[in-house]
Amino acid sequence: MDRSEAAAGALWRTHPVLWDKLKPLARQMRHEPTEAEDHLWQALRRKSLDGWKFRRQHTIERFIVDFYCPEARLVIEVDGEIHQYTIAEDAARTELLEMLGMRVLRFSNGDVLNGLESVKMTIRETLAVFSDSVSVEQNTSPLSPLSVHGEGRLSTAQQGRGR
């Protein structure tokens, strides 16, 4: 596990008792994906989408999400006819995941099966926003460097310029 995965994992942990119950279910869901989930997985697996690593049927708290990119804390859900949640339940689930610092994208089976390139473009755009925000954070120092003369002291040259 690299540092970004460790940092993302530090935000939440699935309770061990719950993990024991979810793990076999997640494994079963990986072995029996819907057609749309399998179609999207082929586009995401092995860092195929611009080098981003995704997991499928990944547990987060008490949920099993369809796809998860740990580095970007991005959850992708594919909703179909057999989707077991109501709109209100989906909204609550999304809200909880977002409170944990995740971004959530939802696509219908039809979106994935009939417009995979559009789905991939949406995912890329979301990942680009994440990359841009990380770049800005890494290149921005909250503190400006101190002068060689110490904090609050101006050099002779700075004093002469009226600073």
CA of residue 72 relative to chain centroid, distance: 4
**What is the pTM assigned to this prediction?**
0.72
**pLDDT tens digit string along 112-159?**
999 999 999 999 999 999 888 776 666 654 444 443 444 444 444 444
In a domain, 34, yes or no: yes
Q: Which of 60, 72, 80, 54 is nearest to 125 (CA)?
A: 72
In a domain, 134, yes or no: no
Place of tokens 């921005």: 140
Average confidence (pLDDT) over 28-36: 90
Range of the domain at 116: 3-128
Average confidence (pLDDT) over 17-31: 82
- CATH at 104: 3.40.960.10
| CA pair distance 76, 97, nearest whole angstrom | 11
| CA pair distance 80, 55, nearest whole angstrom | 20
Per DSSP, the three-state class of 66 is: strand
* Residue 25 CB partners (closer than 8 Å, separation 6+): 64
In a domain, 147, yes or no: no
Tokens of 118: 């559009």
The answer to whether 155 and 148 have CB atoms below 8 angstroms apart is yes
Poorest-confidence range of 10-19, 31-40, 71-80, 123-132? 10-19
Assess whether pLDDT exceeds 50 at residue 106: yes
Tokens of 111: 């979106």
Can you give the pLDDT at residue 84?
59
In a domain, 111, yes or no: yes
For residues 57, 58, 63 and 66, what is the CA-based torsion angle, rounded to 10 degrees?
-40
In a domain, 158, yes or no: no
In a domain, 65, yes or no: yes
In a domain, 145, yes or no: no
Number of H helices, E strands in the chain: 7, 4
| CA pair distance 22, 16, nearest whole angstrom | 10
Tokens of 11: 């935000």
The structural domain count of the chain equals 1
The answer to whether 18 and 64 have CB atoms below 8 angstroms apart is no
Tokens of 98: 């977002």
